[in-house]
Amino acid sequence: MATGGAPFDALSSLDPETFAGESRAVINFLADYYRDVETYPVQPQAMPGCLRALLPDAPPENGEPMDVILEEVRTHIVPALTHWQSPKFFGYFPMNASTGGFAGEMLSTGLNIVPFMRVASPAATELESAVVDWMGKLAGLPDRFLFSAAGGGVLHGSTCEAVVCTLAAARDRALSRLGHEGILRLVVYASDQSHCTFQKGARIVGITRSNFRVIPTSASSGYGLTSDSVRDAVEADVASGLVPLYLCATVGTTGLGAVDPVRDLGELARRHGMWLHVDAAYAGSVEYITLFDP
């Protein structure tokens, strides 16, 4: 792949005229891709190392014109992709692009603000709170989960980020009652179909591996959790002096699309004071939002 061209200049990289021209080129490239996406085999026959062999050992000192870059993407990258946007793609979970989503991503990236608190960007902070309230209402959550009722939430960049945030919040709430030494008593529950993110996230926030319960599922329950199996596991832990902390319910598991009985699990979680997390990969992107009950 080519590595020549003019030196990179951080100031000129956002020159308005250059930005407009190169952006149009990228949009036209993607429009052509979407027109032809169904002509590509969904799963490429790419051999391991096929792309690495074309790349230099170190990043190039100089950039290339956009037309050269896009031609290299067309020649070397596109044929080695798994085409998630193809109408023939039926793997994993829905990730379809849309004109609205693409335009929103461009606006977000182009404005490039960091709304970590209101003074950093008032409009973005208020927009986030409004969108989170919309999602809470669409999910049918009680008003106490909404900003308008002193609840609220936050948008995340990924599911992994959201999982760690919720685990940490549940942990801190429990430890405020139990004291720091209580972390060795906290237990997290998920099914054998739940995403491995939850086991990794639990370890990150300090839950011991022996206190992560992987509850078996079966074909008779559509490979979803049952309230009986969770209740049995929780009651056994309580009898042993452990503290149920966090229960993951899934609406469409990654492997099989299994759906857990969220209402029944929610009632069980309420009785035992557990945090209920709903991983909704197949139901939308709710898992990218952490909503807090004050």
Residue-wise pLDDT tens digits, 212-239: 999 999 999 999 999 999 999 999 999 9
Q: Does 197 have pLDDT greater than 70? A: yes
Using a pLDDT cut of 70, give the percent of the chain over it.
90
Give per-residue pLDDT as tens, 73-92: 999 999 999 999 999 998 77
Nearest to 54 by CA among 81, 88, 77: 77
Say what the pLDDT of residue 95 is.
73
Nearest to 275 by CA among 146, 213, 186: 186
Structural contact between residues 187 and 164, judged by C-beta atoms closer than 8 angstroms = no
* Helix, strand or coil, per DSSP, at residue 193: coil
Please give the structure tokens belonging to residue 143. 């008003």
Sign of CA dihedral 165, 168, 174, 179: negative
- Residues 261 and 221: their CA atoms lie apart, in Å, by 10
Say what the pLDDT of residue 155 is.
85
Q: Which residues sit opposite 248 in a β-bridge?
A: 277
CA 109 to the chain's CA centroid: 18
CATH fold of the domain at 138-291: Aspartate Aminotransferase; domain 2 (3.40.640)
Q: Where are the domains of the chain?
A: 14-112, 138-291
Structural contact between residues 85 and 26, judged by C-beta atoms closer than 8 angstroms = no
Q: Which residues sit opposite 290 in a β-bridge?
A: 154
* DSSP symbol at 52: G
Average model confidence (pLDDT) for the chain?
Answer: 88
Which range, of 175-179, 181-185, 243-247, 287-291, averages the lowest pLDDT? 287-291
Q: Which residues sit opposite 247 in a β-bridge?
A: 189, 276
Give per-residue pLDDT as tens, 144-164: 889 888 888 888 888 889 899
pTM, 2 dp:
0.79
Nearest to 287 by CA among 253, 243, 244: 253
Give the pairing type, strands 153-155 and 289-291: antiparallel
CATH class of the domain defined by 14-112? mainly alpha
Most confident of 62-66, 134-138, 259-263: 259-263
- Residues 103 and 105: their CA atoms lie apart, in Å, by 5
Structural contact between residues 254 and 94, judged by C-beta atoms closer than 8 angstroms = no
Where helices occur in the chain by DSSP H, the ranges are 16-36, 66-72, 99-111, 122-138, 159-178, 197-204, 227-239, 262-271
Confidence of residue 119 (pLDDT cuts 50, 70, 90): very high
* Residue entry with tokens 């049995």: 232
- Residues 254 and 17: their CA atoms lie apart, in Å, by 43
